[in-house]
Structure 1
Amino acid sequence: MEGYLENEKFIEDGISYPFRTHTQAIEGRKLIVGSHYHDHIEILFCLSGRINIFLDGQGYVFGVGDMVVINSMEVHNIFAASEGVNKYIVIRFDPELLYTTTQSVFESRYVLPFTMKTSIHQKLFTYEETADTPIPDLIKKILLEDQKKAYGFELAIRTYIGEVFLWILRSWQEKGLDLNLTQALDKTNIERLQKVFDYVDEHFDQEISIQDMAKLCAVSYSYFSRFFKSAMNRNFSAYVNFIRISKAESLLTTSELSVTDIALNVGFSTTSYFIEQFKLYKNMTPKRFRNNFQTLEQI
């Protein structure tokens, strides 16, 4: 089964860019790209045909005028589903592009929904939702700017991507999705969260206690518990399990390890608890999740 961590750097003529765009065209029904995941955020906009994508444990079909948003580190694979020409625009970029500067703090609350791999967010925006909006024009402008590379194209692309994501955020808000974006996060709290994120990402396969995190952030146990729950809209234990499930999701599609081995590798002490948590977050068992990928790859 195909699957890999894509660590591609966007380098052209020796210059590193925080983005890359291209048009993908495939004739007939076939696999376009196998199971993979990456740090960058990805936008797909369909121009012709029909595309199947397996994303975040769910299958989606998108056609002409539909847009798909793939969060950072979300495992996905893509299939051409129609007999004719299946064509779509691909826009990939580093999440840092959404920040004004790397030290910007207030923007973090808007970027987190795209980097936290939160499964509740809308992934597919249909033609009916985007047709009478700036989205189609913005997507095509981004592609054209990258192709022509006229003076200042980097600034233009950054601006257009920002407009796309502002539209997405406001669309979510209008639909009543709770993104926890009204939570006031000052610089100190963002730095505390970042310490926790980094620590959990590096030690997810080990025992991690709230006491350890409180000490890391130089606050009391009770303060850290309240702060984390308020900022993230979930308690710390749930967050750790979420990260472990995300790591397990990758292993299920990029390795042949057994479910028991994967459970142990991502920090769960028992297979039964791992399966219970996986079903909680993905609404399916690890085995079914893996089988779904294998089935789609055979289409």
Structure 2
Amino acid sequence: MSYPNDLKEYPQLEGSNYPFRLFFNECRYAKAGQNILFLHWHEHFEIIMMQEGSAIFHIDSKSYELHPGEVLFVPSGGLHVGYSLRDDHVRFISIVFHSSLFKDWKQDPQHEQFVVPYLENRYQLPVKPAELVPTCCTYYSLLDTIVDEKLQKGPAFQLIIKNQLHLLFVLLSRTFLPEQAASNTNERHSFNRERFKPLLEYMENHFDEKMTVESAARSVNLNPYHFCKTFKKLTGRTFIDYVNLCRVNEAERLLLETDFTVTEIAGKVGCDNPNYFTKLYKQYKGITPSGVRK
């Protein structure tokens, strides 16, 4: 089961033989509710380390608040998006890596028992492990070592990073695998994720079309009330808010990559009134379309 390809991200990693990379994310003067991590998914694992500010991340239909010093684990293939919780500077580090990083461990039976089930998505680590088992916080010093090694780039730093990540998986597996294996639960695939997939794909490709809540609700066989409730739980946005976000993101691309006038771009993303388009764009991006061009 997967999400629309239009939402799929292909992270630029260190290389095919070393599928790992750190991303240092910063949103200065972020406004409450501002999008700080756009809705996407990828086949890689992602660990988000909050450094400054506070945010709420929606991961596979569930929301998680994140404050400085806290950590989230995004599963491979998980749909995720993030918003600032308040007016503040926001900084967080994303550790992104592919399961093939540990391909050299395949002959180790302990690795096969404790780590492979998570790499193959047979089981899933909790998104916020320390919330369930507070002692997991003691493992996060391994992440600090990873960041330091990447910044310092000392001898064999890549090997150290790889070993620290593997050790983190082993420790978390030792904490959560026994109970997960006993209950044989895997909550990764939910009915709503698959149900809404065609609608999300359609919305990402039809910016200029008028779409009402009622018509969108009919497309997934829900009444408008339950549709709105489920949609917000899945994406972290109301339906109208999400449509507007799709439009301004496409408008931003057109402003930066084409010579279309602001009025032409407004029409291309479904806003017939250029003045309304300017107001909408500034609401989401903090700058006017003409300001982007300048």
Q: Contact (CA 8 Å) 1:36, 1:254: kept in 2 or not? A: no
In 1, Cα distance between the equivalents of 2:86 and 2:135?
Answer: 22
AA partner of residue 24 (structure 1)? N
Tell me: CA distance 1:100–1:79, structure 2 relative to 1, closer, same or farther (3 Å): same
Q: Contact (CA 8 Å) 2:106, 2:112: kept in 1 or not? A: no
Q: Contact (CA 8 Å) 1:9, 1:16: kept in 2 or not? A: no
Residue 24 (structure 1) shift: 1.6
Residue 251 (structure 1) shift: 4.2
What number of residue pairs does the alignment pair up? 218
Q: Contact (CA 8 Å) 1:73, 1:117: kept in 2 or not? A: no
Residue 57 (structure 1) shift: 1.0
Q: Contact (CA 8 Å) 1:40, 1:93: kept in 2 or not? A: yes
Which residue of the partner structure matches residue 22 of structure 2? 21
Which residue of the partner structure matches residue 209 of structure 1? none
DSSP 3-state at the match of 1:151: coil
Give yes or no for the alignment of 1:112 onto 2:117: yes
Could you give the per-residue CA deviations for residues 55-114 of structure 1, whole angstroms, max 9, x where no partner exists? 111111011221100000010101122322222221000012244345667634533335
Which residue of the partner structure matches residue 7 of structure 1? 10
Give yes or no for the alignment of 1:291 onto 2:232: yes
Give yes or no for the alignment of 1:143 onto 2:142: no
In 2, Cα distance between the equivalents of 1:130 and 1:89?
Answer: 22
Question: 5 Å matches for 1:1-299?
Answer: 4-11=7-14, 17-27=18-28, 28-29=30-31, 30-101=34-105, 107-109=111-113, 110-116=115-121, 121-126=125-130, 129=134, 133-135=138-140, 137-173=141-177, 177-179=179-181, 233=184, 242=189, 247-248=194-195, 250-256=197-203, 288-292=229-233, 293=235, 294-295=237-238
AA partner of residue 179 (structure 1)? A
Tell me: CA distance 1:85–1:151, structure 2 relative to 1, closer, same or farther (3 Å): same
Larger Rg over CA atoms: 2
AA partner of residue 142 (structure 2)? L
In 2, Cα distance between the equivalents of 1:169 and 1:290?
Answer: 32
Residue 242 (structure 1) shift: 4.3
Q: Contact (CA 8 Å) 2:43, 2:76: kept in 1 or not? A: yes
AA partner of residue 176 (structure 2)? W
Residue 7 (structure 1) shift: 1.8
Could you give the per-residue CA deviations for residues 132-191 of structure 1, whole angstroms, max 9, x where no partner exists? 6141x2112111222232221111110011122122212325xx632359xxxxxxxxxx
In 1, Cα distance between the equivalents of 2:170 and 2:193?
Answer: 26
Tell me: CA distance 1:79–1:243, structure 2 relative to 1, closer, same or farther (3 Å): closer
Tell me: CA distance 1:38–1:134, structure 2 relative to 1, closer, same or farther (3 Å): same
Q: Contact (CA 8 Å) 2:9, 2:42: kept in 1 or not? A: yes
Residue 253 (structure 1) shift: 3.9
AA partner of residue 157 (structure 1)? I
DSSP 3-state at the match of 1:133: helix
Tell me: CA distance 1:289–1:254, structure 2 relative to 1, closer, same or farther (3 Å): farther
TM-score, structure 2 length as denominator?
Answer: 0.60
DSSP 3-state at the match of 1:39: coil
Could you give the per-residue CA deviations for residues 225-247 of structure 1, whole angstroms, max 9, x where no partner exists? xxxxxxxx48xxx99x9488655
Q: Contact (CA 8 Å) 1:66, 1:130: kept in 2 or not? A: no
In 2, Cα distance between the equivalents of 1:31 and 1:113?
Answer: 29
TM-score, structure 1 length as denominator?
Answer: 0.59
Which residue of the partner structure matches residue 222 of structure 1? none
AA partner of residue 121 (structure 2)? M
In 2, Cα distance between the equivalents of 1:178 and 1:34?
Answer: 31
Q: Contact (CA 8 Å) 1:48, 1:86: kept in 2 or not? A: yes
